[in-house]
């Protein structure tokens, strides 16, 4: 898979997660390393698809 495909996969998982798992545990549940999950998050932040959040277990949420 490419980084773009993985970003889409992570974004969809983040949507379905609804803040339950933290961002790294979510990535690990998809088979991604912590480092790669951080890269995906960085890419999604750059793409303005997600934003930082403090109101749940997960530190990020999908932008509306």
3-state secondary structure 12-28: HHHHHHCCCCCHHHHHH
Beta-strand relationship, 60-62 and 50-52: antiparallel
pTM over 0.85: yes
Taking the CA atoms of the chain, what radius of gyration do you get in angstroms?
10
CA–CA distance from 14 to each of 11, 24, 34 (Å)? 5, 11, 15
The structure tokens 């999604």 sit at 44
Residue 53's domain spans which residues?
3-62
pLDDT tens by residue, 13-45: 999 998 899 999 999 999 999 999 999 999 999
How many structural domains are present in the chain? Answer: 1
- Distance between CA atoms of 56 and 35, rounded to whole angstroms? 22
């Amino acid at each position: 898979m490419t980084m773009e495909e993985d970003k889409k996969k992570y974004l969809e998982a983040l949507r379905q997660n609804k803040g339950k798992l933290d961002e790294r545990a979510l990535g690990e549940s998809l088979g991604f390393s912590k480092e790669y999950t951080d890269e995906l998050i960085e890419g999604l932040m750059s793409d303005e698809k997600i934003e930082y959040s403090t109101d749940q277990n997960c530190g990020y949420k999908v932008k509306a």
